[in-house]
A = this chain, B = another copy of it.
Amino acid sequence: MKRIAIDMDNVIADVTTAFLDSHEQETQIRLIPDDINGKLESEAFPNVMKWVNTEGYFRNLPVMPDSQGVVKRLTEKYDVFIVSAATEFPRSLYDKMMWLEEHFPFIGWQKVCLCGSKTIVKADILIDDHFKNLDYFEGETFLFTATHNVLADNGRHRRVNSWSEIEKILL
Query: How many positions in chain A have a CB within 8 Å of any CB in the partner chain?
Result: 27
Q: How far is the CB of A118 from chain B (nearest CB, A)?
A: 9
Q: A94-B90, A94-B91, A121-B122 are in contact. Are A115 and B112 (CB under 8 A)?
A: yes
Copy count, this protein chain: 2
* Most chain B beta-carbon neighbours within 10 Å: one of A94, A97, A114, A123: A114
- Which one of A29-37, A61-69, A80-88, A148-156 contacts B? A80-88
Residues on the B chain within 8 Å of A97, using CB: 87, 90, 93
1/0 per position for A115-135, CB-CB distance to B under 8 A?
Answer: 111011111000000000000
Taking a contact as CB atoms under 8 Å apart, the answer to whether A112 and B123 are in contact is no
Residues on the B chain within 8 Å of A117, using CB: 110-111
